[in-house]
Homo-oligomer: A and B are copies of this chain.
C-alpha cells in the first residue's frame, strides 16, 4: 500500500488544482440565481469520475441534479456507496471574507496550511478526499480493492427535497453493502472519528400578519397590534428560562442518553470553556445543568436563523409594520417525529397570536435524527484503518444533520459509516471557511487504508 500513499504525497499539487477548480464553481443551491452554477458543478463531477475510468451520469431531478458513478472492484469484495454533496452554503456576509469566497487560496497558518474558500471543507474538500483516494489507487494499482459507487447530491444545504424520490427510483442502481459519508469532523486535531449519531432537522419559515397595512405609530401606537412585537413574543416563547424548548410535547419520546454513551463522552478530552471561548462566548445557552456536549449532540434544539420586517434602511421611520418574518429550525434527536414537531411548533405559534393576527408557514425540510446500528460490521475495520494513518481513532456524536442518512436507511435498507476529517474551527457556513491541508492529505490517505481494510 505504501506506493499509493507515497504517490498521493508526490502528486499533491495536481490534487489541489482539481479541488480548486471544483471550489471555483459557486454552486449555492438555496439561491435560484446560482442554479446554472450548481448544474455546472454536477457536470464537472461526472467528468472527473469519467476521467478516472468510471461510468458516470448526471441525473436531472425537479430540483438540482444527482451525479451517479461506478468503479469496479473484486466481485467478492464489499460494495460501498460513497455519498457527498457538491452544493455549498451562500457566502454572505461577503464583507467579512478576507479573500474571494469562490477564488480558493492557500494560507500557511501555525504549521499547517489552510485551503480557504466556500465549500473548501463542506463538502467539496471532504468529498474530494475520497475521489482522489480512488484516483490514486487506480493510478498505482489499476483498480480498487472494493467495489465503489458514487452518489453526489446538489441540495444538501437546502433541504434535499429531491433525494427521497430519487433514492426510491434508483434503488437498484444504488444497491450496496454500506454507505460511506465524508461530511463530519475529526474529534480533535489529532484524532479522526466515526460519527455514530446525527440530529434531525425541521426547517420553518413564518410570516406573521397584524392588520392589513403598515400604520403610523403616532396615530396607532399602543392600540394596534405590531407584527414585530407579536413575532418577538412568539419567538421568545419558544425557549423557557432554563434554556429548554417550551413547545408542548417537544421532548415526548426523547430518551436520556444511555449511561455507557454518557460515560464514553465524559471520558473524551472536551473543554467546555474553550469550545465557547473560541467563538467569543462563555455561557452555555441550552438546558441548564446538561453538559455542553450533551446539548449539542444529544439534545434537540430550536434556533432562529433570520428575522426581518418593518423599516430596516438607514435612518428612522415610526411605522407599525403589519408583517414580520422569521426563518428557524429545530434539530431533532432519536424519538422525535419531524412532522409531529413541525405541527406542535405551528400550533404553539398560533396559540401565542392575538386573535386579530395570522401566520403563514413554509417548510424547509423535515429530516429525522439517526443513530448508527450498533452491530455495523464495517465500523471496526474502519477505526483500525484510521488508527494506522493517524495513530489513533474514536467514535463520537455530532449536532449536525445529514438528511440523506435517514433516507438511505429507509429507501436502500443499508446503514452508513460517517468518517470525517474536518476540524472544529473550519468555519463551515461562515465567512473564511477553510480546510486544513493536513485534513485533505490525511483524508485521502485514510480512505486508501479504509478501502484496503474493507477489501481484506
Contacts and interface: CB of A to CB of B under 8 A. Distances in A.
B203 A316 contact: yes
Q: For the complex formed by this chain, how many copies does it contain in all?
A: 2
A283 B314 contact: no
Contact of A430 (B93, B215, B285): B215
Contact of A212 (B279, B324, B364, B424): B279
Given A236-B233, A317-B30, A321-B305, A199 B213 contact: no
Looking at A228, A243, A317, A321, the one whose CB has the most chain B CB atoms below 10 A away is A317
Given A90-B311, A315-B158, A301 B222 contact: yes
Contacts of A275: 223
A16 interface: no
A225 B303 CA distance: 10
Contacts of A313: 30-31, 90, 92
A312 B283 contact: no
Interface in A217-244: 217-226, 228-229, 231-233, 235-237, 239, 243
Interface size bracket, A side: 35 or more
Contact of A236 (B236, B305, B306, B309): B236
A360 B455 CA distance: 60
A307 B331 contact: no
20 contacts: A32-B314, A90-B317, A92-B311, A93-B214, A157-B317, A158-B315, A199-B221, A211-B279, A219-B399, A219-B428, A221-B331, A223-B296, A224-B276, A224-B279, A224-B281, A236-B236, A303-B320, A306-B321, A307-B309, A317-B429
